[in-house]
Amino acid sequence: MFDGYTTSELMSIFAMQGFAGLSLFSVFVLMALGLAIIFGQMGVINMAHGEFMILGAYTTYLTSGFFQAYMPSLFGGYFFIAMIMAFLICAAFGAFIEWAMIRRLYRRPLDTLLATWGLSLILQQAYRSIFGPREVGVELPEWMMGAIQVTDMVELPINGLFVMIIALLIALGLYLLMYRSGWGKKVRAVVQNRPMAEAVGINSGAVDRMTFALGCGIAGIAGSAFTMIGSTGPSSGQAYIVDTFLVVVFGGAQSLIGTIVSAFAISQAQSTMEFFLSGSMAKVLTLLVVVGILMLRPEGLMALKIRR
């Protein structure tokens, strides 16, 4: 498949596709981190995760419209406000869903999967009724447009870089929160031994709700970032959900580092192959390899070493 390319051309192709893969990687990381928290820490499958992401995207869309109409002078900075709004709205909605639905189903993980799928259908149709079936996009502020020219064949778009930086910042923040804060310690205590954690005075119900809300909030930020590199439609979330689940499972469900590594591997593989094969075959091959590896090594790349 490399026939007819010179070495330097190949190098630029890999660099360009590698960078294209990096924006896919950023979306994967942002979505998968939220999912990894909910799935890895609580064992809950949230099939509506993609719809939470789209909620964040629509929030960004509305905020950008608001800024355009009322505060055009501040338009350059709207994205930061939008991101905070997306986080807060999604987290609040997530906390509500946890209270109304998920907490009644903790003992039945398979049923949670079906119930959240129902939620995702409802949300999708709600988006369709409110925002219309067509995809919407936001207008990028001036400073985010354009690209940095690295060599004459390789150029890096600024919005992609920006999204990537956000993804890495969120990942770092999440790591600090989970492994370096008192609250993270509580979450991990509840995951490892719920009755014991309750016995030492941790309110496990409140921890669950906060964890779920945090996961949904991160999905909101993911959606917000997503608007920077693509347009949003009512069912865009569903397009990513299976990939994201595979990213989380492939990385090893309870490992944040594993999630990031697997997001990197999957997005790079897919994006590099896309140049040489058709897009659909690249995706098929990537998913097949991931599924194949998971069949041989079900615990994922980075598994916690715990005696069964």
Partner 1 sequence: MTTPSAIQWFKTREGIYYMLLALLLVVILPLTLDPFRLSMTGKYLTYAFVAIGLVMCWGKAGILSLGQGIFFGLGGYCMAMFLKLEASTPEATAIQSTPGIPDFMDWNQLTELPWFWQPFHSFPFTLLAIIGVPVLLALIIGFTMFTRRVGGVYFSIMTQAVAAILTILIIGQQGYTGGVNGITDLRTLMGWDIRTDEAKMTLYFICVALLFGCLFIARMVQNRKLGRILMAMNAQETRVRFSGYDVAAFKIFVFCLAAAFAGIGGAMFTLIVGFMSPSFVGIVASIEMVIFCALGGRLSILGAVYGALLVNAAKSGLSESFPELWPFAMGALFIGVVMAFPNGLAGLYQSYIQPLEDRLFKGKQAEISSQSSAPISQPSKAEESDGYDSSMDNYSAEKS
Spell out the residues 6+ positions from residue 25 whose beta carbon is closer than 8 angstroms to its own: 164, 167, 263, 264, 267, 268
- 283 contacts partner 1 (rule: CB under 8 A): yes
3-state secondary structure 182-247: HHHHHHHHHHHCHHHHHHCCCCHHHHHHHHHHHHHHHHHHHHHHHHHHCCECCCHHHHHHHHHHHH
As a residue count, the chain comes to 308
**Per-residue contact string for residues 222-241; x = within reach of partner 1 by CB under 8 A:** ----------------x---
Among residues 240, 242, 237, 244, the alpha carbon closest in space to that of 58 is found at: 237
| Choice between 206 and 288, CB closer to partner 1 | 288
| Rounded Cα gap, residues 270 and 25, in angstroms | 10
- 257 contacts partner 1 (rule: CB under 8 A): no
- 146 contacts partner 1 (rule: CB under 8 A): no
**Quick check: helix, strand or coil at residue 138?**
coil
- 156 contacts partner 1 (rule: CB under 8 A): no
Q: Are 87 and 221 in contact (CB under 8 A)?
A: yes
| Choice between 181 and 278, CB closer to partner 1 | 278
Q: Outline where DSSP puts E strands in the chain.
A: 147-149, 155-157
| Choice between 231 and 238, CB closer to partner 1 | 238
Q: Are 38 and 90 in contact (CB under 8 A)?
A: no
Nearest 10 degrees: CA dihedral of 129, 79, 117, 249?
160
- 195 contacts partner 1 (rule: CB under 8 A): no
- 275 contacts partner 1 (rule: CB under 8 A): no
| Rounded Cα gap, residues 208 and 66, in angstroms | 34
Sites for partner 1 among residues 167-186 (CB under 8 A): none
Which range in 4-12, 25-33, 146-154, 272-280 contacts partner 1 by CB under 8 A? 272-280
| Choice between 10 and 108, CB closer to partner 1 | 108
| Contact residue for partner 1 among 22, 45, 83, 269 (CB under 8 A) | 45
Sites for partner 1 among residues 71-110 (CB under 8 A): 101, 104-110
| Choice between 145 and 304, CB closer to partner 1 | 304
Which range in 26-34, 72-80, 165-173, 291-299 contacts partner 1 by CB under 8 A? 291-299
Site residue total, partner 1 (CB under 8 A)? 52
Q: Which residues bind partner 1 (CB under 8 A)?
A: 43, 45, 101, 104-115, 117-126, 128-129, 238, 242, 245-246, 249, 253-254, 278-281, 283-284, 287-288, 290-291, 294-296, 298, 303-304, 306, 308
